[in-house]
Structure 1
């Protein structure tokens, strides 16, 4: 009997250990709550999830629940108490949600459930679970905000089409008040001619499990017909139908139907693998099997090294496990091999599992297959850094390579040369023979130059008829001259393009490191100056740079003295370029653009003085003035009843990296009264990548103020998709260099579609700049680009012209 009792006791202890490991390992907190008959309450057990929810060790709340109740927000105390008392009175299952403030100041939504039972002394005990539902409540808020947005006409109906909810856009667009729509059949709004087709198409899509999209006509409150694009999807499990409609009446005057397309990245479920401390696999989930091809039975008891691809050496794994041992987790990219031998990249997180004694008991790995993201990343990287016509490096990639070469030369004490090549009278060939012939000629010229440059050199195309060559390991000017003369010889013989013999020459300029410049911009500028001098001297020749070719020194003095006085003399001013919703063609925002009206030289473009302002430190007072003026103008327009949408302001790198930037931004918003949620700052992709970690920290602080963040000139920098995932941003701006040749250039089409698809996959808005033709607008709208700006819509306008502009675009 004693032996049986001991076995029974051991079994109870083992069961208790298993329960505690289970309770401490799941999200949230498991605890036992007791409400005594005298109204006092206690916690008799609390899992270690207490520290995650309340930021209090579980040991601090056992027998004393005051530390938990003190965190409940004052507005939620009464409701929580009443729900507990009601459950105690009726012994009904307890369920309640409330908010609390943790010791760190964080506001959380939590959800609690528990089964009550009556104790012998008359008190009530609940075996309860509380989980953090903050994210769900935030998502619900975002959903409500989306539903109430003014850009679309939204409905929620029951399965009989009776309207349960309608947003205010129905009143604004069609004069139909949401309250008056409740209970009506949504199909009754549709013109009888279109109603049958609407219902047939909806039933067909429902059978296929797809979302219906169809154009149908609706009469407004005055009886006028409007063309609406309807999107409808039934959620049978909720007995609801969700409808989103857009008024496309104006667009249909020129186009019968607008076909909407949105490319969505395919995502895979995350795989989970659990091992003991020796690395033996204890369990895997279904997603693991789907990704790797191994069934659960095939891997139980084996080591995860069966997935090793062979791409990583022993040091990689040693460093990975060292970090797991020291930090408790590891996160990064790794290449693994599936059962069929295919090698694939995955994003992997390994975490240490600890027992109730805070001792490691095993490991959990969570991973996702990122093959598709890698493919898109490689595609974007190549398209963003190579010329789409010739596949040569573009300016961005060339300047990067030149920078690296300069650093090598500086360390080794060696030299290099930069050769600027401009085709003589190429525009005449384009204009007379056509752009297609001009493109073929550029391809032939590229092939001929490639045959003559050395393997160590870099040939790039940086604009329409301009090439540049990085000549490395140039021992002397004479050695460089020999290479350049050989390149000039490439133009001595005619080119045959489409059966046409074409003769063309080139003017070339050469600069040397370190004699003619110690940085990328100086070497390129001086080679460019030498090339233009060669053109002045008759073309078809090459000149070495000389300081007399440039007026750079005079420009520096002019900018230094002029900019310091520009703010005080009120020579700086802003113009505003409207931004439009490409679907509704309504104004969605304004971008503030800086200009300088010099008393002698007239209006000076920002591209001339902004780089100097950044280098000299003058960008800080200038940037502060721009931000304040844009917010003041925006506030004035809002008070005048103008729905200008968002106000976008460009922020330079030195401003963003200033430690007090977010604080200064909040002060400007407060002082001017402009709503923070309507303010948007634009940061260039390249500026973020200069100091990515610091930039992300700064942008997190900016987002905390309620201000939106967008990445300007996206696609021209070096940011990776991994880095993009970390950025706290709302929008990507498609650079005008990728818009300029749409929809004719297949490479620009590929880039634009890839970036738009990337934005959709990451829930980011896409805005395209530089739209100048109706074909560009139509292409971008059809691909799902949300917003656009450019001369096709409006040139930048002075502040005083905005009210009239808005009045004409209601």
Structure 2
């Protein structure tokens, strides 16, 4: 019997050459699509001839190199997820257009397809990259209209695409009445570097510059290359002067690490000019020209500078940056830069001092006249409020301990101080809640201490704030609300929180048409809740006259007594405190 009677005619046993593994290998090697396999670290382990032709390199020059070395992409490069990541959180396959840079310096447009390779447990172990050139059947490159909008050297949008996006952005900004910012970037002294290293190496460095800048630009913004060593960033969603300054500083910082060229280290800086829509210009051409002019102004000041079209705006932002730097330095060494002053609180009927408020005094020779309270918003934005607050608490405790040990009458007066909002939200740099910090200060009693909670801190997460306030109350600390009337507060919540005092700013009487009624209504409401109102900001006779009709008993302000050092306060109290009746 013929055991092969059911086999189709001509079919014999498959030879070794037709084994599936061999067929797969032949397909990989002979494909006209460039193919690359990488390991989990993104380094090339296998390539075919088609990819070597696209990349202009042989196999020895590709194996072991990171895959991203051989193309430029507008999309950030995606790494494989680690073992702790969710596989679903990273796309396993995608495609995108890239530019592959050949050995002759030319860049060719390529469609890159990426497939993640999984092991038997479905964990990523590498990737398969397929590179398809845009060519006709005869091998000629397609003149795809998309690529006329792309700068071939960096892969960034060129002037044509930037112009299109600018037109759209300005039309959108006009419709919704928002602002835009345009940053014009010039790489300082790049021509000299280009001449020194050669144009091919200079082009490579320009590509590296573009990659560094692209990493600092948000996905909603546009980074484009205008040609030579000039770039432009369009900020659409947040086109304010402040946002432009932050982005410009990030871009300049991105260029700070040295660039390497063979055995040389090259230091590059950039001059950046900023123009704002609609303040500086209302059309594309004028906006570009305004930003370019501002860049020239920046360059005249020296390398690595930033300038706005409006000189006054440049000065204001420069002063803002200077203030932030000074505050940051001071807060990290508070004992050297700050001192505590104390301002008395009075019973306006008897003029007896009923308490003290601890206030910061900045020793800075230019800033000393303004209380650091004037800079609280800046301090909060820098994320330094908790650090400064903790130093204040420790300094107040040290002063009170010294007064107690010396049997000073100052030890009998309650002391209050401002509590930063971040402490309520338990948003601390070391994840250490305020009550834990206080417990480790070695103080047996806090019944003399009042913490003044900003009213705006009660407008956010009230549940979290209430939890922290009750924990502070358990330590014996008394609590007050600061600047009531300046921020909306839920009265029902206020009645349930453990406050015994609240400050009302006397200047509200001048800031509103019915200001006096507002102040008095606030005082009556507080009294009805069992919360003692304190009128603050009584700095002159006019304000004091406005406050005469209010029902508040306690007052504070420079008219009665300015803030002073602990030493001066001791002498003042001995001289001015009336005897008790």
TM-score normalised according to structure 1 size: 0.32
Structure of greater Rg: 2
**Structure 2-normalised TM-score?**
0.44
